[in-house]
Structure 1
């Protein structure tokens, strides 16, 4: 599998972002019937200041967020609640950025391990790269169900069940 992890904040190095990203991306791709070795994703571990810059540049929101994603192409389903078509051709799926400060704060507030929350955010970002979204209610319901299934396979509790929730994912897709 080709997950290129770029560490801009050394706290991600200590938190094991490289292994976490590889596990999360592989689980998402395998769940959707995609061979992980055939696809490329970049995951950047940064801090709140850097993600706030990116959020301002790409969304016009100059504040930190937990995760951002940039698909290499639009892959969303045309029909609300429909499964996006599997990618074909170009192996580059896109890029994900995850902010240590926000991720850490949310994990602590939700009473969950940082690794579990980071896995959730990376799975979420990977699904965005594959065309899943949550702007429309039906799409959001599908995306949430797919996330829960993937996380369950990784031993990560359902982040949406209300117990230990770290709150909504503010990833630029709303």
Structure 2
């Protein structure tokens, strides 16, 4: 697959951009697949003037507002850098050409299905966690399964991601630090 990806390097826009740079605005149609070489991004939506973080992305990850990108629909969320980042943008028309080429490869369909299944499993797990787990359990799960987020992401973004206020997140962290967490 790398040889195919490299073939499309001339069509990619390499951006070396500062923190808080929007790569996609909520309500616009996604035209690019994004690959992160360096830095971190988050996706969020606006809920009555309050940003609600949906997901975080880091080095060597790709993303897009998939439904928007595939179906030419307005994106339900914004994608923005959280720290200075180097990203590559590949326009939709080139992604479609790349997919067409790759679809002829014998292992491509299985690889694509595995990547899709992995993403769906991750998002399903998060959805179930929001229904089943307490806020404290969600934070502990984040801390145990994805500690790089806790280390690299601002507390107010983590609070938004967990669906708590920054004050509540501070209480959760204090409780855990004291060893008084009963989850």
Larger Rg: 2
TM-score scaled by length of structure 1 = 0.24
TM-score scaled by length of structure 2 = 0.23
